[in-house]
Amino acid sequence: NKETASPGTTGKCMVMVTPDADRTMNTYLGITASFSEEEVSYDALKESQWLYVEGYLVASPSGQEAALKTLDFARKNSIKTALTMSDPNMVKFFRENFNALIGNGVDLLFCNEEEAIEFTGTNDFKEAREKLKTVSKSFVITLGKNGATLWDGKMFIDIEPHNVDALDSNGAGDMFAGAYLYGITNGH
């Protein structure tokens, strides 16, 4: 809403995509760097099945505080919690903030292979996924062109990739998480 929005600069993101569809990016968060509890609608959250927390919030003190309070509210109101690690550098430089967000655990964690290894402090993918069992009831580790691995709380399920002629991998993790959450909230 233009009348109630805080003044600030729109974020910007520069993405460079290589011919093999890999990408590197540099993001300026703009006004979202000051995201705070003021922007959280607890009334809307009360009506929700899931709370999805973006890991980029760990880089901002006000974002971290808002995420902590919102996760606490969700847990107290039997709303399932999902967290995405967002970026390997977020995990590397803000590990303690991620530990605080996870607290006694989340219901669903999204990460890629590099984030899983970085967060768990391992050098081995299989060891990393075993350690993730201690912080999340279920999780999905995306593996790029190799698909994904899902822990459903009982067993690992390998999700085979679809062969595609990828042009741009920007936003692939967010699209995956959105589709996954759509699926589980619609009985799939």
How is residue 99 written in tokens?
């530990």
DSSP secondary structure, 132-183, as one string: HTTTEEEEEEE-GGG-EEEE-SS-EEEEPPPP---S--TTHHHHHHHHHHHH
- Phi, psi torsion values for 38, nearest 5 degrees: -60, -30
Structure confidence at residue 85 (pLDDT): 95
Over 70: is that where the pLDDT of 36 sits? Answer: yes
Rg (CA), the chain: 17
Tell me the pLDDT band of 3, cut-offs 50, 70 and 90: low
Give mean pLDDT, residues 35-61: 93
CB 25 within 8 A of CB 13: yes
Tell me the pLDDT band of 2, cut-offs 50, 70 and 90: very low
Token pair 């760097």: residue: 33
Give mean pLDDT, residues 40-62: 94
- Average of per-residue pLDDT values in the chain: 91
Over 90: is that where the pLDDT of 52 sits? Answer: yes
Question: 30 forms bridges with which residues in the sheet?
Answer: none
